[in-house]
Amino acid sequence: MCGIMGYIGRHDAVPIIYEGLRRLEYRGYDSAGIAVYRPGEKASLGLVKRQGRLAELIDHLEDFSGSTLGIGHTRWATHGVPSDRNAHPHCDCSGRIAVVHNGIIENYAQLRKQLILEGHDFVSETDTEVLTHLIEKYYHNSLEAAVRQTLAVVRGSFALAAIHQNEPDKIVVAKNASPLVIGLGEGENYVASDIPAILEHTRKVYILDDNEFAVVTADEVIITDFIGDPVDKEVFDVTWDLVAAEKGGYEHFMLKEIHEQPEAIRATLRGTAVDGRVDFSYLGMDELFQKTGKIFIVACGTAYHAGLVGRLAIEKLARIPVETDIASEFRYRDIIWHPDDLMIVISQSGETADTKAALQEARRQGIKVLAVTNVVGSAIAREADQVIYTHAGPEIAVASTKAYTTQLLVMYLLALYLAEVRGTMNRAELEGLYSELLYIDTLVDQVLAEEAKIKQLAQKYAHVQSTFFLGRGFDYAVAMEGALKLKEVSYIHAEAYAAGELKHGPLALIESGVPVMALITQDHLVDKTMSNLREVKARGAVVVAICKSNLQEACEECDEQILLPDINPLLAPIVGVIPLQIFAYYMAVMRCLDVDKPRNLAKSVTVE
């Protein structure tokens, strides 16, 4: 998630912008930049931007003193690797317009092509740069009008701020899907992608909604929709302290990121389809997708659990044999490779040493590798043959949540695309399943609304020393992830087991009061799963069913029920995992543990 900071007023803009960007550093970024209006006889826009940390800018800012208008940016790359030229702000051909942007311009490729034909020179690989050249194209002495015309032709998500050398009394901003706030001062105003950036200056903010546009001067903020119709906004009085503000008002990053999942899902879905069907043809792997005889999905931890779901989805939809393995084991197998094999590695950070080593081994064998990662320019993204990015934004909590659900989404999208390439599904089936993915964010929202009930469950069982997570098929894969979440953050021993396997040994561990979390979303397996649950109940276990609402009756014998919306069993993992994330979170909170930074763990395991 990129950071945006802008200032207009009577004070030096640079220190205010710099400090505002520093307040957003916690979100993670790979490059930074600032653009200011430099007054005087030869008025101009001053611009400095660098790959790396914000501090890289310090030595280049000294001649920007006296500027009272500027915008700045910390970049979380989505298009174009981290580099000086891909850093924001971006300028138009004349250097008179500067823009910072957070989001994804979905139709940037065709816009870029057209603008180049019209004579615009592009210097970066970013989607953002099309915004600056469009504003330049439409500029006729009104930055406001030029930005409005630009918004009429771009598609995608954006929070943007633009300044023009010829109009040094304003910042023009617009918001669609990515966050943007306006801080209200006395004779000065601020724009930012998040409240922490402006909290030391003001606690009065406008929180922009989608399709809102504003012209911000030192003394006035005029808010309209993209067309120009006035919008009546209430001022939001921020009561949070800075630490709370960085977490968006949540107590921990983990809970914030659990609640960010609907937006992360929407952001990852954006631009993945053409005419209602998934389009991954840009990967240039269609021939291999067509003929591969086996797919290896290799990852670690939560990413591995996403791979387990991916395997079931790909086998079911595309009818391709899939092997899954944890990377640290995969590397020591004597794999019987076939030249047409395909490896898929999944990694939120893109830096996990074991996963990188498995990728390198496959490439040594001449095997093509497709990476699924959340970090543009990461080692795994660079070393793989092709990459599909999740767009979960920075994931700060060690326990992975929104990365997992967006990895699941990419697995489903890939399974659908493979099915189309191999002709194992017809057009109606492909479009039907894709359309179900388009509203899965609303189903996640429904489950998030159960938070209070799940919190009560955690209060009830916070004292336990061990738990089981059971399921069959897709539910078993989700049980694995639920157990890991609980272990990671609450330090309670949690074992995930195939429901049908318990009686082959682990049943001996069941005794009175042991909580058993049971996933029950696979309609065709509910009877068998219930018979396994009767076995554990008979031995004193407390069974908590996470079940689809249409299966509620079958689960009545369970001691507790967390209901999920009725959903295609194939897609159930995306909603089934949510209660387990929330349960793990509150179990850790009840036990007064460091939820975001659990003992012994790192966010990215870059050692083997």
State the nearest-atom distance from the C-beta of 395 to ligand AGP, in Å.
9
CB of 404 vs ligand AGP, minimal distance in Å: 7
Identity of the residue, 372 or 533, whose beta carbon is nearer to ligand AGP in the bound complex: 372
Q: Is 561 in the site for ligand AGP (CB under 6 A)?
A: no
Stretch that binds ligand AGP, among 167-175, 216-224, 298-306, 537-545 (CB under 6 A): 298-306
Residue 268 CB-half CA count within 13 A: 33
List the one residue from 144, 488, 560, 596 that touches ligand AGP (CB under 6 A).
488
CA distance 352 to 347: 7
CB of 417 vs ligand AGP, minimal distance in Å:
22
The residue nearest ligand AGP at its CB is 301
Binding residues among 82-121 for ligand AGP as defined by CB under 6 A: none
**Residue 400 found at the interface with ligand AGP (CB under 6 A):** yes
Pick the binder of ligand AGP from 31, 176, 302, 406 (CB under 6 A): 302
Per the structure block, which two tokens stand in for 471? 């399921």
Label the pairing between strands 69-75 and 515-520.
unpaired
Contact region for ligand AGP (CB under 6 A) — 46-54, 208-216, 227-235, 341-349?
341-349
C-beta of residue 393 within 8 angstroms of C-beta of residue 1? yes
Tell me the C-alpha to C-alpha distance, in Å, between residue 346 and each of 96, 319, 343: 42, 21, 10
Q: Where are the beta strands (DSSP E) in 226-285?
A: 236-237, 273-274, 277-278
Q: Which is nearer to ligand AGP, 115 or 580 (CB)?
A: 580
CA 198 to chain centre: 24
Q: Based on CB atoms, which residue is closest to ligand AGP, 156 or 301?
A: 301
Interface map 446-485 toward ligand AGP (x if CB under 6 A): ----------------------------------------
Q: Can you give 320-388 as a three-state secondary structure string? A: CCEEEEEHHHHCCCCCCCCCCCEEEEEECCCCCHHHHHHHHHHHHCCCEEEEEECCCCCHHHHHCCEEE
Judged by CB under 6 A, which of 31, 349, 405, 467 binds ligand AGP? 349
Q: State yes or no: cis peptide before 89, omega within 30 of 0.
A: yes
Distance, CA of 305 to CA of 41 (rounded, Å): 62
User: Binding of ligand AGP at residue 393 (CB under 6 A)?
Assistant: no
User: In this chain, which stretch among 274-282, 301-309, 363-371, 420-428 interacts with ligand AGP, using CB under 6 A?
Assistant: 301-309
**Residue closer to ligand AGP (CB basis): 425 or 582:** 582
**Of the residues 398, 433, 444, 479, which one makes contact with ligand AGP according to CB under 6 A:** 398
Q: Could you say which of 301, 310, 569, 573 contacts ligand AGP (CB under 6 A)?
A: 301
Distance between CA atoms of residues 394 and 530, nearest Å: 39
E strand residue ranges, 282-327 = 295-299, 322-326
Per the CB < 8 A criterion, the answer to whether 64 and 96 are in contact is no
Q: Any idea of the CA torsion for 397, 401, 402, 403, to the nearest 10 degrees? A: 90
As measured in angstroms, the least distance from the Cβ of 278 to ligand AGP is: 23
- Smallest gap from residue 266 Cβ to ligand AGP (A): 21
* In the complex, minimum distance from the CB of residue 484 to ligand AGP, in angstroms, rounded to a whole number: 6
**Residue 604 lies near ligand AGP (rule: CB under 6 A):** yes
Q: Does 28 bind ligand AGP (CB under 6 A)?
A: no
Angle separating helix axes 143-153 and 129-138, nearest 10 degrees: 120
> How many chain residues touch ligand AGP (CB under 6 A)?
15
Q: Which CB atom, from 128 or from 347, has the smaller least distance to ligand AGP?
A: 347
Tokens 């709370």: give the residue: 244
Has 558 been annotated as catalytic? no
Q: List the one residue from 184, 191, 362, 399 that touches ligand AGP (CB under 6 A).
A: 399
Residue 395 binds ligand AGP (CB under 6 A): no
Binding piece for ligand AGP, criterion CB under 6 A, among 2-10, 348-356, 505-513, 519-527: 348-356
Q: Which residues pair with 172 in a beta bridge?
A: 162, 215
Between the two ends of the chain, the Cα-to-Cα distance in Å is 29
Distance of alpha carbon 50 from alpha carbon 243, whole angstroms: 27
Helix (H) or strand (E) holding 74: strand 69-75
* Interface region with ligand AGP, contact rule CB under 6 A, candidates 30-38, 119-127, 281-289, 300-308: 300-308
Give the gyration radius of the chain's Cα atoms.
25
Whole-number Å distance between alpha carbons of 350 and 436: 29
State the minimum distance, in angstroms, from the CB of residue 444 to ligand AGP: 18
User: Considering only residues 126, 128, 355, 522, which one is a binding residue for ligand AGP as defined by CB under 6 A?
Assistant: 355
Residue 303 touches ligand AGP, criterion: CB under 6 A? yes
Per CB under 6 A, does 352 bind ligand AGP?
yes
Specify the stretch interacting with ligand AGP by CB under 6 A; choose among 43-51, 61-69, 394-402, 574-582: 394-402
- Residue 605 touches ligand AGP, criterion: CB under 6 A: yes
User: From the candidates 233, 294, 597, 603, which is the catalytic residue?
Assistant: 603
Q: Does 348 bind ligand AGP (CB under 6 A)?
A: yes
Cα–Cα distance measured from residue 217 to residue 471, given in angstroms and rounded to the nearest whole number: 58
By CB under 6 A, name the one of 347, 405, 406, 561 that touches ligand AGP.
347
We find the least distance from the C-beta atom of residue 165 to ligand AGP, in angstroms, to be: 43
386 near ligand AGP, rule: CB under 6 A: no
Pairing, β 515-520 against β 493-498 = unpaired
Q: Which amino acid, 201?
A: H
**Selected range binding ligand AGP among 186-194, 250-258, 397-405, 511-519, rule: CB under 6 A:** 397-405
Told to check if 300 binds ligand AGP by CB under 6 A, we report: yes
φ and ψ of 320, to 5 deg: -110, 135
**128 Cβ neighbours under 8 A, 6+ residues apart:** 79, 88, 90, 99, 100, 101, 105
Annotation says 2 is catalytic: yes
Instruction: State both tokens at 424.
Output: 């194992």
Beta strands in 200-352 (DSSP E): 204-207, 212-216, 221-225, 236-237, 273-274, 277-278, 295-299, 322-326, 342-347
Task: Tell me if 128 contacts ligand AGP by CB under 6 A.
Answer: no
Which is the catalytic residue, given 2, 91, 547, 555? 2
Min dist CB 595 to ligand AGP, Å, is 12
Shortest distance in whole angstroms from residue 604 CB to ligand AGP: 5
Q: Note the residues at the interface with ligand AGP (CB under 6 A).
A: 300-303, 347-349, 352, 355, 398-400, 488, 604-605
- For the annotated catalytic residues, the residue numbers are 2, 603
